[in-house]
Structure 1
Amino acid sequence: MPIHCVSLTTDYGLSDGFVAACHGVIARIAPAVRLIDVTHEVPPQQVRTGAEVLAQTAPFLPEAVHLAVVDPGVGTARRGVVVVAERGILVGPDNGLLLPAADALGGVKAAYELTAPEYRLPVLSSTFHGRDVFAPAAAHLALGVAPAGFGPSVENLVRLPDPFVAVFPGKLVAEVLTVDHFGNVQLAASPDDLALSGLSGTVSVSSEHVLVKALVGDTFGTVPPGWNVLYTDSAGRLAVAVSGGSAAAVLRLGPAQECTITSSPTAS
């Protein structure tokens, strides 16, 4: 059955023609399909960040084929796959990128390896499977080709390890998942983790390089301009922000780094 929307999530950036080439391949095969760009600004090779961004966005999109490419293993033995979820289909490398979104869309129902030559471009680049393998597959899926027609069934999909979170009395350590356009630092920890730690009020937030005070609050306006706030973001994760500024710049934090939250702040 046809699907009228394809979403795209990549680390390609917008300064080259990579995204346009993928758009073009899809448009040539399935010209009536609507394309939605989730983002092309995933930090290069940051598979977990791409996985989190897609998982946090996909449930709010129309029924779609979700094409995602953050693929440091392109051209190696890693598989390309179609993953069928309860409320959508995902296409991309089998490196853990797709499964958080599949979970967010109701769970994996089936998966197939992309091996059928009729659903890829005639000539394959060893470094641009987004254009030559994944975009054609997404377009054909949108036209109604059955996922099982792309290749053999796959059982052992690669899943990323859980992001690091450690909870202690008066202390919480969590991996940074994403940093958004505003410099807000999203952590792997949840409000429940914060409650288990017993932390509240004014806390210390530190990276490897910097320690600052932050107020546990509900939103950016909870604190005056320039102050730091620890809050629950729209995805239900703990996050650190600077009212009117960039927490990522202040704390010098990026994806996959660790952030520590403790009581008894000692820095300003």
Structure 2
Amino acid sequence: MAGYPWISLTTDYGLSDGFVAACHGVIARLAPAVRVIDVTHLVKPADVPRGAAVLAQTVGQLPPAVHVGVVDPGVGTARRGIALSTPNGLLVGPDNGLLIWAATALGGVTGAVELANPDWFAADVSRTFHGRDVFAPVAARLALGAPLTDAGPEVDPQGLVRLPDPVVAVGAGWLEAEVLTIDRFGNVQLAAPASALAALARRVTVADTPAVRGETFGEVPPGGLVVYGDSADRVAVAVNGGRAAVVLSVTPGDVLRVVDAE
């Protein structure tokens, strides 16, 4: 197998400890020619849906790679480690729903294995640091071209853990959608596709707050609320010069209603 020249890392490890560097080090020792792209290490601890959304919205912009995702509150428990094949890359991480949206973005799961080959792991596997001791060394070996099936037995993709589908409902002049993510600017991304905006009027309300359906932040005055299609092709809400998440008092998982203004 030709392997992959890139590995990407998406985790909730943060930047104040040596966790990310340890994963880089494992990869560098096993596959020194493989380059690493850090997607983010600032996912809120244990926030699997946020990690899944960030990974899924990023992998399509990256070169073909082995994508490692580690947001893993179940580390050390009976949850499986898995590796997935897709038409456009491989994914490695815990079987907790983190990888499935990204696999869909890469063309869908074409094969899946449970990580069960101890020869591919660190000599001493920590029960709390599988990113370093399991997922990083597995990713390095796959990047070097080792067959996926050497990592462990095949599993039925239909049996993989999946996150619940986010709430999305669309009607004439309204939509309701779950808050999928909130970025560092406080912009609120909804689960609804941007195409749902076509059915809305120019002036709308978001959770009873006046807003404008637009394309740029500058279409509303400072402090104004704009509903737009974001770079991931999702409906999003922003405040020009402010934080929509604060104005609307929402967190991921909440449901927002956008309706035509009367």
TM-score (norm 1): 0.92
- Deviation track 1:85-142 (CA, whole Å, cap 9, x = no partner) reads 0010000001111111111111111011100001110111111111111011111111
Residue identity matched to 1:250: V
Aligned to 2:217: 220
Q: Over the residues paired in the alignment, what is the CA RMSD in angstroms?
A: 1.5
Aligned to 2:254: 257
Deviation of the 1:193 alpha carbon: 3.2
- Deviation track 1:227-267 (CA, whole Å, cap 9, x = no partner) reads 110000011100000112211122222222222223337xx
Residue identity matched to 1:231: Y
Question: 1:232 pairs with 229, 233, 242, which one?
Answer: 229
Residue identity matched to 1:48: P
Deviation of the 1:212 alpha carbon: 2.1
Aligned to 1:69: 70
Deviation of the 1:166 alpha carbon: 2.3
Q: In structure 1, what is the Cα distance between the partners aligned to 2:247 and 2:40?
A: 24
Aligned to 2:14: 13
Q: In structure 1, what is the Cα distance between the partners aligned to 2:235 and 2:24?
A: 35
Paired residues, what number?
259
Q: In structure 1, what is the Cα distance between the partners aligned to 2:255 and 2:19?
A: 32
64-73 or 220-229: which moved more?
220-229
Residue identity matched to 1:217: G
* Unmatched tracts of structure 1, length 5 or more: none
Residue 201 of structure 2 corresponds to residue 193 of structure 1: no
Superposition pairs of residues 1-268 of structure 1, within 5 angstroms: 1-155=2-156, 156-195=159-198, 198-206=199-207, 211-264=208-261
Residue identity matched to 2:83: V
Deviation of the 1:84 alpha carbon: 0.4
Aligned residue for 1:189, secondary structure, equals strand
Deviation of the 1:14 alpha carbon: 1.1
Report percent identity of matched pairs.
Answer: 61
Deviation of the 1:169 alpha carbon: 4.2
Q: In structure 1, what is the Cα distance between the partners aligned to 2:64 and 2:200?
A: 40
Deviation of the 1:216 alpha carbon: 0.5
Aligned residue for 2:137, secondary structure, equals helix
- Deviation track 1:69-98 (CA, whole Å, cap 9, x = no partner) reads 111111111110010000100000011111
Q: In structure 2, what is the Cα distance between the partners aligned to 1:252 and 1:126?
A: 37
Deviation of the 1:59 alpha carbon: 0.9
Runs of 4+ in 1 over 4 A off after TM superposition: none
123-132 or 162-171: which moved more?
162-171
Maintained 8 Å contact 2:197/2:228: no
* Unmatched tracts of structure 2, length 5 or more: none
